[in-house]
Amino acid sequence: MTQSSPTQARWAIFTVFLLHGILIGSWVPHVPLAKDRLDVGPAVLGLALLAIAGGAVLAMPITGALINRFGSARMTLMTGLLFGIAFYGPTLAPSLASFIVFGLLMGAGIGSMDVSMNSHGIAVEKALRKPILSGLHGAFSIGAMIGAFGSAYLVDKFGPFNRVAFTSTAFIVTLFVASQFLLSSDIDKGLSGSHFATPTKATIGLGLLCFLALMVEGSIMDWAAIMMRDKFVIDLAVAALAFGFYQGGMAVTRLAGDWCRQKFGAVSLVAISALFAAAGTAIALISPTPWLTFAAFTFAGLGVGNLAPVLFAGGGRLEPTAPGRGIAAVTTLGYAGFLAGPPLIGFAAQISTLPMALGLTVLASLIIAFFARGVAAADTY
């Protein structure tokens, strides 16, 4: 890696977040395809999807320790390569068993890359002495929107294998180039004598809020397209737009999130954002038309967009001598929500309806709004 300036590193890590979002978004159209290919119901699919989130949760505490040993820059590259290669697995898996095994590997890539790039984002934020994390998550949302829209189109035109091969190769090549302009690995290597990223009293409150925030985000990611296709009897390419519009709303608000955090403070930003998320999701679930549903998901995305970035920033601030460990602890609890959300929605949908089951995400957003004071640490430097 070159000796990069903080400004160069900012745009390099922005690119990494963008790439991560593109690959996550590219996965979304494959969820209903996997449901059809594996010929399973919503409850079984929910359990299978648990493997992806489970892989992420298992990898995150380990990643915190590895960042302390090798630095977030090197770990961002290595974990990104793991994600790019593992992406082939669940998108093409021919059986439920292989889907679960490959899902664990892809989840490990997703979770470890998430911790690594957020840790490096905190390092760049400190070097620049101003908040940038919401903007980085805005890049992720832009990428997820591009990935969801583009993947739905490419799958239809070129088939799953060709689309996966193109996306994975482009991801790996671009990631390698961008990683050359990150800050030195020494910037956050070996800062703490305590490596393993278990939650502490300082991080558990933020972690529980992150649990709910990622439960909301993960549930919409995995189930919105299926809900749209079942409720309105529309094509997969159209149904996948629900997540794309959701991520579009998240991108807009995240690009403005750093300014909003400076202007209004983390507590007010999280409280108002969570109320927006609750209102938008509720409207989407009762909407009688597809386009009103798309608009409501966009509104919900405006709300949920800044929840995770501010919570991650708070985790890094609570562990000033080991931001990678702090972020890993918060995101581990957060991804436990990502893990619990999809199967919980699947089981609830099995005994009721999918729109009613997704109403749990409205309740989760309201709880976040009520306990927003827990995020005050994000405003300390």
Query: What pLDDT is stored for residue 44 in this prediction?
Result: 83
What DSSP string describes 238-270? HHTHHHHHHHHHHHHHHHTHHHHHHHH-HHHHH
Beta-carbon contacts of 263 under 8 Å, excluding residues fewer than 6 positions away, are none
Q: What are phi and psi of 256, to 5 degrees?
A: -95, -5
- Across the range 104-120, mean pLDDT stands at 92
Beta-carbon contacts of 353 under 8 Å, excluding residues fewer than 6 positions away, are none
Residue 297 confidence class, pLDDT cut points 50, 70, 90: very high
What is the tens place of the pLDDT at every residue in 129-172?
A: 888 888 898 898 889 888 877 876 776 677 777 878 888 999 99
Round to whole Å and give the CA distance between 225 and 112. 26
More confident residue, 371 or 33: 371
Quick check: helix, strand or coil at residue 223?
A: helix
Decide which of 1.10.287.130, 1.20.1630.10, 1.20.1250.20, 3.40.50.1240 is the CATH code for 6-185+201-379.
Answer: 1.20.1250.20
Q: Residue 82: is its pLDDT beyond 90?
A: yes
What is the tens place of the pLDDT at every residue in 266-283?
A: 889 999 999 999 999 999
The pTM of the full predicted model, rounded to 2 decimals, is 0.76
Torsion of CA 219, 114, 100, 242, to 10 degrees: 30
Contact 21, 150 (CB under 8 A): no
What is the tens place of the pLDDT at every residue in 310-335?
A: 888 777 666 655 555 666 677 778 87
Q: Residue 379: is its pLDDT beyond 70?
A: no
Contact 258, 134 (CB under 8 A): yes
DSSP 8-class letter at 352 = S
Map out the domains of the chain as residue ranges.
6-185+201-379
